[in-house]
Amino acid sequence: MADRELHLDDARAMDELGGRIAAQVRIGDVIALDGGLGAGKTTLARGILKALGLESEAPSPSFAIVQPYDVPEVRLPVTHVDLYRLDGPEHTAELALGEYLADSLLIVEWPDRLGARLWPHSLRLHIAVDTDNGRRLTADVPDAWTERWSQI
């Protein structure tokens, strides 16, 4: 059973955590990845995508903002977004991200840009650099994930 607080020694541990999360995801889920520049958000998103079958390394969506993946390159459709460059909830509203929930898993870097629009059923993972240069991940687990997080 995964603790709500995990220590991830290196990028490989982050990648492996992505694999365990990928085993639990469903269409309509939101995984919100919080944490400063270089925290490891994209590394975790790549781990999820890789475990869902993506063979090439996922690009960081910091410029594309919205990067969709579809079957068959992944076994479940994924929308990977990076909101860093957006100024706030007024701008993110234009992206109509909610529409992606109907048929994909949504992975959101910089979810703070959504403000109160972040969906309550989101699994919020906060990543921070730890003293040993590894990472500390704190999970904010909604009801939709309680059972599943216990499998991770």
Interacting residues toward ligand ATP by CB under 6 A:
8, 10-11, 13-14, 35, 37-43, 60, 62, 109, 133-135
- Torsions phi, psi of 43, nearest 5? -60, -45
Q: What is the DSSP letter of 50?
A: H
CB of 143 to ligand ATP, least distance (A): 27
CB of 16 to ligand ATP, least distance (A): 10
* Residue closer to Mg ion (CB basis): 22 or 81: 81
CA distance 122 to 8: 21
* Residue closer to ligand ATP (CB basis): 133 or 146: 133
CB of 127 to ligand ATP, least distance (A): 7
Using left for φ > 0, alpha for ψ between -120 and 50, and beta otherwise, residue 23 falls in: alpha
Given ligand ATP, Mg ion, none, residue 11, with its beta carbon under 5 to 8 Å by kind, binds ligand ATP
**Distance in Å from the first CA to the final CA of the chain:** 6
CA-based torsion, 69, 105, 102, 114: positive or negative = negative
* Residue closer to Mg ion (CB basis): 42 or 104: 42
* Residue closer to Mg ion (CB basis): 43 or 122: 43
**Rg from Cα positions in the chain:** 14
CB of 43 to ligand ATP, least distance (A): 3
The owner of tokens 């990028």 is: 11
Contact (CB, 8 A) for 62 and 79: no
- Footprint (CB under 5 A) of Mg ion, residues 5-64: 41-42, 60
**Interface ranges with Mg ion (CB under 5 A):** 41-42, 60
